[in-house]
Structure 1
Amino acid sequence: MSKKIVALTEELVQPIVDELNLELVEVEFVKEGKNHFLRVYVDKEGGIDIEECGKVSERLSEKLDEADPIEQAYFLEVSSPGVERRLKTRSDFERFIGSHIYVKTYEPIHGDKEFYGDLFAFEEDEITLTVKEKTREKDIKIPFDKIAKANIAVTF
């Protein structure tokens, strides 16, 4: 059920974000405690502001009311993906080359499943991550289909 809600929401919101020159990053429908949340994450080059989130929310809310795909009560949240945004698509990885990222893989690569490093390249269905190992740097190639989760990592 939640996959259908996510797919329909993506279908409804895509023309809205396209019209506003925004990027649809992710849609999720989750239950937290007793409440259900339909979360829509949008972004643009240079970041998104609260007014833009409000416009998407208003327009999407109207479309959802018309389609009425969700039986239970829920909260609609439209927001920025934040500084630690997830990287899911090939274009996400291409766009964020040069960024410091966290990657978790489905299976070990060189004995590890978790990596922090600078995204150096995305070519031929694999990313190249420059990681620090003690005092040295080394490049690790990770196949795109082996990535379970990835996001921008904030460094202090």
Structure 2
Amino acid sequence: MVTGPIQQPSTVVAAARPPARQHRPTHLGDIHALARALAAPAGEPRWRERLITRLDPVRQGFAEHVRVTEGPTGFYAELLHHAPRLDRGVRLLTREHAAIATAITALQHVAELPGVPDEELCGRAGQLLRALHRHRQRGADLLWEAYEADLGGET
């Protein structure tokens, strides 16, 4: 006969869920909105204005991404704690942060200058979108390698 409350076994949720599964980029929708603005014909009225408007949320979302991932308590630190072998990949992603932030700022500046051809803005915005896509893919690949790849013997 059992008396008293039944105790549930404790679980360690944080260990089972890697940092990327706890945090999903919130700025993906903003990136898609920028891509849609870029896909519109450049000759449309207010095309440049829409491009500039869609760029600011991308800048803010990317700044938040950098804040959450970098630093001693960021996701990259957690990732390296779990898989120190990925240091080179984390350093690459961190360097990309600076390059992408610079590209966003430069595109905003150029888009606000009168007389800059729409073709130049399209080219720069396309390069930015490709850089963001590559960065997201590299981050996903690194997380897969850290948490899903079975290297045998590594805990």
TM-score where L is the length of structure 1 = 0.22
Structure number with larger C-alpha Rg: 2
The structure whose residues are more often helix, as a share, is 2
Q: Give the number of the structure with larger relative contact order, counting CA–CA contacts within 8 Å between residues 6 or more apart.
A: 2
